[in-house]
Amino acid sequence: MKRLLFLFLFSLMFVGCKNDNGLVFEPSNFGNVPCENCALVNISIPKAIGNMRLDETINTALREEITFILKYDDEVEASSIDMAIKSFQNAFAKLKEKFPEESTQWEATINGEVTFENEWILTIRLDYFLFTGGAHGYGSTRFLNFDKTKAVELNNEGLFKDILDFEGFAEAKFRKQEGIPSSESINSTGFMFEEDLFYLPDNMGFTKEGLQLFYEQYEVASYADGPIILTFPFEEIQKFLAQQTF
């Protein structure tokens, strides 16, 4: 009897001390039924469903990013994803009313997925495409990075021990990938870095392959060049990272 009681108390102690910060997600979908006079919206993202502060941080960051993408009508207070969709719909309706013969159907598609997770770091990637008239639509990618231990969203500086140290390493990789001689300026082959100086993109995050840097269309090159993507395997950059990733 004493032995059973001891085992029971030991198991409670083990459970209470265990640092289990694993996350659980479920699919979360938003959108509207297709119709002739409304914009087409289709959103599919992961939703953190625990009761931890980290879950709230993740869901809030996703909501804010999506509302930023879809907010086209400033008269609509986009405090939720549904209201952001309404903002997008209203902007299209106003355009349709003003130019009934010229306006084509608007479209917004947003898909999110977890691309990396370990004990310390979580990354969610949002891929989106918008068409609001003109010759072509616009597609891009957003990375959201989180510190799981502190339950906060990380900015780019938070990913590194010293971001300027990493920037020098990244420039060498960029030049090698894009065929830019080290003796020439960064724009010598046609890139469009401001002030002819290399800089990191605003958009970067972790995938299974490593750290991905994503330069959007128009960010440092022409639209025809598309996005410029660099991927750094973990073993190459671990010394620069603030947290262990593999």
pLDDT in tens, 132-153: 987 788 889 999 999 999 999 9
Q: Are residues 43 and 140 in the same domain?
A: yes
Q: Are residues 135 and 190 in the same domain?
A: no
Instruction: For residue 135, give both structure tokens.
Output: 């010759």
Q: Are residues 53 and 165 in the same domain?
A: no
Q: Are residues 147 and 30 in the same domain?
A: yes
Domain containing residue 203: 157-240
Which among 243, 45, 222, 228 has a CA at the least distance from the CA of 144?
45
Which among 2, 22, 34, 10 has a CA at the least distance from the CA of 118?
22
- Whether residue 169 is contained in a domain is answered as yes
- Whether residue 185 is contained in a domain is answered as yes
DSSP code per residue over 192-220: --GGG-----SEEEEETTEEEEEEPTTTS
Q: Are residues 146 and 166 in the same domain?
A: no
- Residue with token string 């001689």: 181
- Whether residue 17 is contained in a domain is answered as no
- Whether residue 176 is contained in a domain is answered as yes
CA distance 196 to 213: 19
CA distance 14 to 139: 48
Average pLDDT, the chain: 88
Say if CB 207 and CB 116 are below 8 A apart.
yes
pLDDT tens, position by position, 84-123? 999 899 899 888 888 888 768 899 999 999 999 999 999 9
C-alpha 23, offset from chain centre: 18
pLDDT tens, the chain, 246 aa long: 444 444 443 343 333 333 345 799 999 999 987 787 889 999 999 999 988 999 999 999 999 999 999 988 777 777 899 999 998 998 998 888 888 887 688 999 999 999 999 999 999 999 999 999 877 888 899 999 999 999 999 999 999 999 999 999 999 999 999 999 999 999 999 999 999 999 999 999 999 999 999 999 889 998 788 899 999 999 999 999 998 766
How many percent of the chain have pLDDT more than 90? 69
Instruction: Give the helix/strand (H/E) hosting 232.
Output: strand 228-232
CA distance 142 to 145: 10
- Whether residue 7 is contained in a domain is answered as no
Q: Are residues 148 and 49 in the same domain?
A: yes
Long-range contacts of 177-181 (CB under 8 A, 24+ apart): 177/230, 178/228
Nearest-5° angle of CA 229, CA 223, CA 188?
70
154, 180, 211 - which closes a domain: 154
pLDDT at 19: 34
Q: Are residues 169 and 228 in the same domain?
A: yes
